[in-house]
């Protein structure tokens, strides 16, 4: 019965497509160019790249400043430093580097609607008459979608992995953890710690970036998103920086931090809330 229903639906959509082509001159899958006209002024991504480069340079300067006293850039090792100096590096990472990375990844990023596209594809020419610009999407959601498509929860919560975490045993049998495995674990950790407290997407992305720097995997984690063809095709407009360049120059800029060692706090957005919860 299901196959029969799908067959009838395909035939009905085919008839609608023929009607749309004959009456309106458009075909299935064509998105009218006027749909993106409101975003024409936002196509220039050079200021976003410049801001990312400036934020990376600032972090590098702070690293060199702190490495005069310590070999590892550590939040805990600066507890006795005055408040402004102690938080200087953390603030630069969370409020400048992460925000610059977020804005560049958000260039041309939108939330697709697969259900609507199936129904409205035959009459795509009429879309601008009834809808506004595509709904924006936060880059953190890309990491969550990657986590979901790769069955991240099942991977992290597998019995073998839980057992290894309980007894601090290696689960990979001496094989190095891959960037994909570490990213799935990191996203799971951020979701587990932040979602119960209803933290924002910005807060969760900041936590992920701090974790990536701590593990020296920022470039490899972002690159996994860039190489995910399904995510790029489904959520990036053709003129976006991601679709046009594959994020190559941005990855090169971020690689300047790859050899630096960090020990940044990951739970700043939820630390006080967790302490309150533990108190009761």
Give me the domains of the chain, ranges plus CATH numbers. 46-65+83-110+118-278 (1.20.58.900)
Q: For 35-70, how does the pLDDT look when each residue is reduced to its tens digit (9 = 90+)? A: 444 445 568 999 999 999 999 999 999 998 887 766
pLDDT at 167 over 90: no
pTM of the model: 0.73
> Which of 41-50, 113-122, 232-241 has the highest average model confidence (pLDDT)?
232-241
Inform me whether the pLDDT recorded for 31 exceeds 60.
Answer: no
Query: Residue 210 pLDDT > 90, yes or no?
Result: yes
User: pLDDT category, 81, cuts 50, 70, 90?
Assistant: very low
Which residues are paired to 128 by β-bridges? none
pLDDT value of position 99 = 97
Percent of the chain clearing pLDDT 90 (strictly above): 49
Q: Is the dihedral of CA 199, 200, 203, 208 positive or negative?
A: positive
88-102 pLDDT, tens digit per residue, is 999 999 999 999 999
Radius of gyration of the chain (CA): 23
| Helix 46-67 and helix 98-105, axial crossing angle in degrees, nearest 10 | 160
Reported as a single tens digit per residue, the pLDDT across 178-197 is 999 999 999 999 999 988 88
């Amino acid at each position: 019965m299901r196959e029969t229903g799908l067959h009838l639906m395909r035939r009905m959509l085919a008839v609608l497509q023929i009607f749309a082509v004959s009456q309106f001159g458009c075909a299935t899958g064509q998105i009218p160019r006027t749909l993106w006209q409101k975003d024409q002024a936002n196509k220039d991504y050079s200021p976003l790249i410049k801001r990312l480069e400036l934020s990376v340079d600032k972090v590098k300067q702070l690293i060199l400043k702190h490495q005069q006293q310590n070999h590892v850039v550590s939040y805990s090792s600066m507890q006795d430093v005055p408040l402004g100096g102690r938080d200087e590096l953390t603030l630069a990472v969370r409020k400048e580097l992460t925000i610059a990375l977020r804005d560049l990844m958000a260039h041309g990023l939108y939330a697709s609607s697969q259900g609507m596209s199936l129904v409205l594809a035959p009459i795509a020419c009429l879309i601008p008459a009834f809808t506004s610009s595509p709904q924006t999407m936060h880059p953190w959601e890309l990491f969550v979608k990657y986590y979901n498509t790769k069955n991240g929860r099942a991977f992290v919560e597998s019995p073998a992995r839980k057992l290894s975490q309980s007894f601090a045993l290696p689960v990979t049998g001496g094989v190095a953890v891959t960037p994909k495995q570490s990213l799935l674990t990191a996203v799971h950790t951020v979701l587990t710690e932040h979602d119960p407290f209803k933290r924002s997407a910005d807060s969760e992305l900041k936590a992920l970036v701090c974790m990536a720097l701590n593990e020296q995997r920022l470039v490899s984690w972002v690159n996994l998103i860039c190489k995910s063809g399904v995510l790029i095709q489904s959520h990036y407009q053709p003129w976006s920086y991601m679709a046009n360049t594959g994020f190559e120059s941005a990855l090169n800029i971020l690689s300047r931090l790859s050899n630096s060692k960090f020990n940044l706090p990951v739970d700043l957005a939820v630390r006080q809330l967790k302490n309150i919860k533990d108190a009761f």
